Amino acid sequence: MKAAADITPKVQENRSAGSAKNIILGSNSHDQSPIGDTKTVASSLCSPLNLVDQEFAISATDVIKFLSDFLSRLPKTQISYPAEKNGLVSDYALRRNPPEDGLPLPEVLRIISDAAEPRINTVGGGFMAYVPGGGLVTAAIADLIAGVMNPYTGVGAGAPALVALEVNVLHWLAKLVGLPSTAFGILTSGASLATLSAFLCARTAHIPEDFRFGTVYATDQTHHAAAKALRLLGFPGDALRTIPIDGELRMEVKLLKEAITSDRAAGRRPFCVVANAGSTSTGTVDPLEAIAEIARRENLWFHVDAAYGGFFQLTERGRRRMTGIEQADSVVLDPHKGLFLPYGTGCLMVRDREILRRAHTVDKPSFLQDLEEAQFPDFADLSPELTRPYRGLRLWLPLHLHGVAAFRDALDQKLDLAGNQGTPNLELIGSPDLSIVAVRCSAPGGSALDNDDATLKMVAQVNATGRIFLSTTRIGEQVFARIAILSFRTSARDVAEAVMAMQNFANQLAERD
């Protein structure tokens, strides 16, 4: 990437009276240097860190230009990178300690640009591996605003009206998954931490303080964030019980009931069942209503992992497929997946807000005694964090700026794209519940191992084009390629290119045999 190459370093040092040193940032497009502007010089005298007025405007404009060049080139940017780019990791500029005197902004941008070369391009439309999101630019703009204003939103009194904006988004999310008005939630750094808080709520609601005999039920299609959250909470390794799946990779609900009964007989304390509303591997939705029914009868917390699938609730097809999610005690969503936000935004919704509070509140220290009870919630009492970034804005701003329909349309388009992938010489695993398609290369007369090998080679060949990036998974004993269609930038053309590349490989294989 050569984004910063056209930004000519033009550093002018303004050594003003005293020791304060102010580096004025310049570029080709800003020949009007603010030197001599008394307001700027005066403010900079306080601290060179205090960027205001034209200095801020100039550097912000340079950064915006840098990013806008990056976005313009995106459709042509490779999704994977050649191995020789790894050499950049040892580049001197990337390894040196921070300098005593600051570098000019163009140089800093150039270093970032170079450092970004060896990377899987997760924001390109051709990125269909793992679970893409895309990195909505307007959410990044919200981050800039939130970062500059830097409000304290751990307690409602810190910035009540800004907290209210976040609260509004949280109510909207609760409604989206069909939870009642008693529900409330938190924004987290991602689904993993939201899952941690969900299990903490489940434990608080259902089992005593000595929780070591507690058991949680899920299938082997459940994301390992669940196992990790239980470990972080201090549960022993066998607390997570694996319930077998049927031929369509969904939980065998009858076997869930049997496992609960047998654990109870052995003196364990079943307290939670996890259902997938879109598994990571294949996007499969568990039978949510049937699981909810068992959870109710057995007095278990019903948790739904909708980190990948949850925002398909915006679409009619998604809502039909996820019927039963509204019965959950807790739901995890990942706006950095289905709402396309930049990484760093997960969400936990809990049916009973009081349990969320009980699980996360401890007695307040005296140094917080001055804080008034605000009309709006103290997120510090509802989540593991005290000081937190103002995450609400990165949802609120894009939702208000683009409108909900833009997100619904984008997600509907992903469902359409995933539904149209019938291809000869490629074996599809069922029809996708949501937007992840799992396919396998099936060479005529090939053994299962041959087909595994062929599927891995097929994905490696597709990825080597640099245009498309896919990942693989194992379902039962077999290897499958995954086409995960979720980024707002992934178009029909990207998907067609991926399918064509796989098709070519499969056809060559078929002709050879």
Ligand X SMILES: Cc1ncc(COP(=O)(O)O)c(C=O)c1O
For the bound state, the minimum distance from the C-beta of residue 224 to ligand X, rounded and expressed in Å, comes to: 8
Burial class (CB in 10 A: 0-12, 13-18, 19+), 89: exposed
Q: Within 10 Å of residue 220's Cβ, how many Cβ atoms? A: 14
Q: Between 202 and 506, whose beta carbon lies closer to ligand X?
A: 202
Q: Which of 114, 326, 334, 494 binds ligand X (CB under 6 A)?
A: 334
Strand 10-15 with 478-484, pairing:
unpaired
Rounded to whole angstroms, the Cα distance separating 313 from 292 reads: 18
Q: Between 292 and 434, whose beta carbon lies closer to ligand X?
A: 434
Q: Which of 169, 196, 202, 307 binds ligand X (CB under 6 A)?
A: 307
- Is 471 strand, coil or helix? strand
Rounded to whole angstroms, the Cα distance separating 64 from 66 reads: 5
State which of positions 345-364 bind ligand X (CB under 6 A): 346
- Number of amino acids touching ligand X (CB under 6 A): 12
With CB under 6 A as the contact rule, which of the stretches 78-86, 247-255, 293-301, 302-310 interacts with ligand X? 302-310
Q: What character string, x for contact with ligand X (CB under 6 A) and - otherwise, covers 408-447?
A: ----------------------------------------
Tokens of 108: 């800093």
Q: What character string, x for contact with ligand X (CB under 6 A) and - otherwise, covers 247-286?
A: ---------------------------------x------
Rounded to whole angstroms, the Cα distance separating 456 from 463 reads: 11
State which of positions 86-145 bind ligand X (CB under 6 A): 131
For the bound state, the minimum distance from the C-beta of residue 220 to ligand X, rounded and expressed in Å, comes to: 13
Q: Between 153 and 222, whose beta carbon lies closer to ligand X?
A: 222
Rounded to whole angstroms, the Cα distance separating 488 from 407 reads: 9
CB-CB contact of 464 with 388 (8 Å): no
Burial class (CB in 10 A: 0-12, 13-18, 19+), 391: buried
For the bound state, the minimum distance from the C-beta of residue 436 to ligand X, rounded and expressed in Å, comes to: 10
Q: Within 10 Å of residue 469's Cβ, how many Cβ atoms? A: 23
Q: Between 307 and 331, whose beta carbon lies closer to ligand X?
A: 307
For the bound state, the minimum distance from the C-beta of residue 280 to ligand X, rounded and expressed in Å, comes to: 4
Rounded to whole angstroms, the Cα distance separating 219 from 313 reads: 22
Q: Within 10 Å of residue 354's Cβ, how many Cβ atoms? A: 11
State which of positions 175-234 bind ligand X (CB under 6 A): 190-192, 223, 225
CB-CB contact of 421 with 485 (8 Å): no
For the bound state, the minimum distance from the C-beta of residue 239 to ligand X, rounded and expressed in Å, comes to: 18
**Nearest alpha carbon to residue 348 among 307, 385, 296, 311:** 307
Q: Between 194 and 501, whose beta carbon lies closer to ligand X?
A: 194
With CB under 6 A as the contact rule, which of the stretches 68-76, 301-309, 432-440, 442-450 interacts with ligand X? 301-309
Residues that bind ligand X (CB under 6 A): 131, 190-192, 223, 225, 280, 305, 307-308, 334, 346
